Structure 1
Amino acid sequence: MVYNSIRPGQVWLDTEGKRIQAHGGSLLYEDGYYYWYGENKEKTTGKDSIWHWGVRCYRSSDLYNWEDMGVIIEPNTEDKRSSLHPTACMDRPHIIYNQVTKKYVCWLKIMTIDGPQTETVLTADHLLGPYKIVREGIKPLGMSAGDFDLAVAPDDKAYYYFERVHSETICADLTDDYTDVTGYYSTHFPHPLPPYVREATAHFVRKGRHYIITSGTTGYYPNPSEVAVGDSWHGPYTVLGNPHVDDSSETSFHSQISSVFKVPGKKDLYIACADRWLPNRMDVLYKDCERACSLYADPDTATNAEKQKELKALAEKIPFRESLGIGVDTSVADYVWLPLKFTEPDKTHPQGQVLIEWKDKWCIEDYE
């Protein structure tokens, strides 16, 4: 099938007619091609304990039709202790290029259900690999580190934005080789507990201003996004609110943004790249997740029969294990790519607004 538009939420096939498997993904532009890479979920059917099958990459000249370039970071099927073993919860690969070392540097989030979340760092001489692990089991700044983004400044200094698990957002300076943190960092958006803690951090720069889009913490069940803006890499950031206008479900159009891509050659086209992780569970609404979290956090729930009854009913609607991606088929997850819209500052919105409007389909050519 040949595409001539982007169709958010619909099945997206590669040039061989197979589902695109680049979840929690990001885009790079190099030598006239767009490269889209992400978690390869082709074997994550929920029937066993396989969480990923490495990192897969696709190439396109038009952002519509994608050629499968293969698995660029292979799973380690031999060593169950490896962070690349298929049963390890590897999420959200991010790759940046170091102009000084001439290396591509990839960071991976490695999640455990009960223990700390860590990072694995790999490097390669070429975007498509092969990649070699240079650091594993990192707890950046001694913290349990969740969803993140990487960004490189014009002066080649790099930054690492991550969720300090169930606490706050951290912006940390990276070392010159981009494989570790220096120790200098700033903190943002503190919250006491899920679902209000921010995750799925996506950073981008527009007209010298820094934007961060995040989601709340409700696992694979989507929730309202939040956009914030600041004047420097470390902020401070001012929260602008939920960019998804006319989204009565409060689920960011049933998706979670993983990255924002500025399209080269276009005057002001930024694409919010999101996953619809559970397309078959769009009946789950944020208000139920929010209420369940509040009941979990409420110490009175343990002795209040009515609250226990309500929590049990909610747990049947929004199973906890399913929210974590356990036992669900994410090989059929879809993508929701939508353009960002920017408004100028006014009395009501002194910082301006960032908006994401629903479109059944849209074309790159419609933008300057």
Structure 2
Amino acid sequence: MTVEFDVAVIGLGAMGSAALSFLSARGAKTIGIDAYFPAHALSSSHGDSRLIRLGYFEDPSYVPLLQRAYYNWRALEIRLRTEILTTTGVLQVGAADSKIVAGTRASCEMHGLAHEVLDKAEMGRRFPAFQLDDDEIAVLDPQGGYLRPEAAIAGYLKLAAQDGAVLHFGERITAIEPGDGGVTLRSADGLYRAKKAVVATGPWIAELVPQLKAHAVPIRQVVAWYQPRDGFATEPRRMPCFLRDEGAGGSYFGFPAIGIDGVKVGRHAHFRERINPDEPNPPVNDADTALLDGFISKRVPAAAGQRVNAVTCRYTMLPSEDFLLDLAPGNPNVVVASPCSGHGFKFTSVVGEILADLALEAATSLPVAAFSFDAMNRFECGARVTDIPLG
């Protein structure tokens, strides 16, 4: 006998776990299914810390979603009685006309967000961990900080279970079959019937959403941790989280010494190497460590002590590097969430709400028009992400 659910959520990483929690809290009969186990190393939802910031350089249109995300993160903390979001401030560093710095200032000014603009001398006085060139500045977002991804996912799954959700781990959904009034999900272990399905499977999303085969591309990402040379300058009260624009050299992100491994840094999208999501993450190599060692020595010298750890994970990129939150073309009973593109975790708490809206109401009042299949298909660029060679 096949049990029928109101909504089945496939993939229980950041977005799937949040969606399951919001759906279950609204009284929906839910099941969450994941091929692996929470916050596993083949996903994009682990690694101790994720940045959160309000002055969003990518596009000011993200700010209202971020404001809702902050509200939802604090609501999650209250319900869990634990800290998920820690405020340290976030520094955006680079040339005044760089994408990160200019974009952050524009976003803050458009939405009236608190921020400070600091020159090299002021940075040296207040935040001595960083090294700036003479013509560079920094924009401080005082409400920025970091999230604890493993705690967030575990918390959402705990709340979903408390609200009645059924959880299946170690089970891979191989097909979603449309039918009258819903969908049938197939796995090696059986069949599941649901009125709606939410697909949030990260690097595997194209397996269940064929419209994304030419668009959603998993790539390799590397981060490293360093024991700082100057533990005083790199502790969280004196070293905010940061983003740094290196122009043609890409953009970097980092965190103060918030754990035993020290200061964490990475380059956004790293070398943009396409990977096979069904294979283990490629190991860290000398080119990876040379890149990150060189960056931290030059730009955050106070942190450039011994490298104690380096790991690979993965991003799932869309050509525009935006999100995708929409009903599947031709199947309104399937909600698609491929929202990361390397910058999505901070939005988890609002994306979960959006996915619940789409599954239960087929619409949301939150501003997501830019994250539709139509918007994705309209996007044009000279070098598509799908042209990235396998590394």
- TM above 0.5, yes or no, is no
| Larger helix proportion of the pair | 2
Return the TM-score normalized by structure 1.
0.28
Return the TM-score normalized by structure 2.
0.27
Higher relative contact order (CA 8 A, sep 6+): 2
| Larger strand proportion of the pair | 1
